[in-house]
Structure formats: structure tokens, C-alpha cells
């Protein structure tokens, strides 16, 4: 019997998204992980097209992180992988190193924008080492993004900053994600513009 390909989709525009929370204590059950629920909740509200989530809760070990990222892209067929945790200057914070190890090309603009958003709230945003990469294998590409560890910061980073009337003051990084995935040959992801508007260049007539 033929096994289904991990890159097959139930719908043509179905997105496969990996959610990885990196924490020694949460992975050991010392406390309840908040990273994955926060990511899943925001994405479920923001994305209006079909989406499937694959979740991993792992310790701050570079081998665990690299193997999880490779599995989610190469075996599960994820188009986008979002990590949370492990991006600070502490010795145990090795998420950026693991992400760079599995990536084939860097996407530095994402990290720059994440720090720019966080700097509106805390000066310690400059201590964040979040990176973004593409992982490209034969017939498939994925975008991997490191996000902050706190639920509030996750939302701010993805959604951006708005004034009391809802006008965007600083664009969140997710505004650029759907177009990036399309350029990589992935599905067309649509969003709820009240949460975050996916930017796509206007087509020339």
C-alpha cells in the first residue's frame, strides 16, 4: 500500500505549521508550557485558510532542537516552523545556533524587525538573538522563525503595534510571512485583516 507523502495536502492552500516550545523545565513538567498554546491561539485567529499544526515541547539541547526542526520540515512537510524560547544570552539559550545549523539561507530582516518591535516595550530587547532561516530540501522549502518566550511578546511580535483606533504603527513580522511562503513555492495563506494584514505586492496590469 502506497504511503501518503508528508507534502500532500488535504486542501490546495492548506498550510502545515510546526510549533516548537524550547524549555528545560516545561519539557520536564515542572511548569505548564505557555508558548505552544499562545502560538496556536494567535495563529488560529489570524489565519483564515486551512491550517494543520504539529507541536513539539523539547528541552534546551541543541541536538533536540536541530532534530525537531529537521523532522518538522523534512518528514512532516511543514511550510512554517515557529520556535519560542531559548534566544537570550544565557549559556543554555542555544535556539539560534540550532536554527542556523539546519538552515540553508538566513532571513535577517525578521530578527531585526522582532527586536525593533520589542524595543518599544523593553530596552532588554537588544539582548534577544532571534534569527530566521529558510530550510530548503529537494522539492520543499520552509521558513523557520525564532520568537520570544512570553505570550504577550509573541503576540506583539507577530501582530505588530497599533494605536487605540487599530491603525498599524509598527508592522508585525507575520505580515510578511504569507508572501515569503508563496515565493518559496508554498501555499497561499490568507489572514484576518483585523488581526494582521498579509502584505502582497500589487500585480502589474
Sorted by where each starts, the structural domains of the chain and their CATH numbers stand as 15-183 (3.40.980.10)
Instruction: Identify the residue with better confidence: 164 or 96.
Output: 96
Q: How far apart are CA 71 and CA 68, in angstroms?
A: 5
pLDDT of residue 4: 63
Residue 130 · residue 115 · CB < 8 Å: yes
Q: What is the pLDDT of residues 38-80, one digit of tens each?
A: 999 999 999 999 999 999 999 999 999 999 999 999 999 999 9
- The arithmetic mean of pLDDT across residues 19-26, rounded, is 90
For residue 1, pLDDT over 60 is answered with no
pLDDT of residue 11: 85
Q: What share of the chain is helix, strand, coil (3-state, %, to 5)?
A: 35, 20, 40
Helix axes 151-159, 35-46, angle to 10 degrees: 30
C-alpha cell at 28: 520536564
Q: How far apart are CA 170 and CA 70, in angstroms?
A: 32
Residue 45 · residue 2 · CB < 8 Å: no
Find where cell 523593553 sits.
122
Lowest pLDDT segment from 26-35, 133-142, 148-157? 26-35
Amino acid at each position: 500500500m502506497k504511503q501518503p507523502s508528508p507534502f500532500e495536502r488535504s486542501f490546495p492552500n492548506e498550510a502545515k505549521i510546526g510549533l516548537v516550545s524550547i524549555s528545560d523545565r516545561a519539557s520536564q513538567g515542572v511548569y505548564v508550557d505557555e508558548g505552544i498554546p499562545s502560538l496556536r491561539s494567535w495563529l488560529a485567529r489570524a489565519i483564515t485558510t486551512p491550517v494543520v499544526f504539529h507541536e513539539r515541547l523539547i528541552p534546551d539541547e541543541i541536538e533536540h532542537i536541530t532534530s525537531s526542526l529537521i523532522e518538522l520540515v523534512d518528514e512532516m512537510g511543514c511550510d512554517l516552523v515557529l520556535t519560542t524560547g531559548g534566544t537570550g544570552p544565557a549559556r543554555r539559550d542555544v535556539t539560534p545556533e540550532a536554527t542556523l545549523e539546519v538552515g540553508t539561507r538566513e532571513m535577517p530582516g525578521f530578527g531585526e524587525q522582532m527586536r525593533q518591535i520589542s524595543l518599544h516595550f523593553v530596552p532588554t530587547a537588544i539582548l534577544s538573538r532571534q534569527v530566521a532561516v529558510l530550510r530548503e530540501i529537494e522539492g520543499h522549502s520552509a521558513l523557520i522563525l525564532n520568537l520570544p518566550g512570553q505570550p504577550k511578546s509573541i503576540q506583539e511580535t507577530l501582530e505588530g503595534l497599533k494605536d487605540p483606533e487599530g491603525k498599524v504603527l509598527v508592522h508585525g513580522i507575520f505580515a510578511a510571512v504569507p508572501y515569503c511562503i508563496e515565493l518559496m513555492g508554498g501555499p497561499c495563506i490568507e489572514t484576518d485583516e483585523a488581526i494582521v494584514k498579509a502584505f502582497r505586492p500589487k500585480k502589474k496590469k
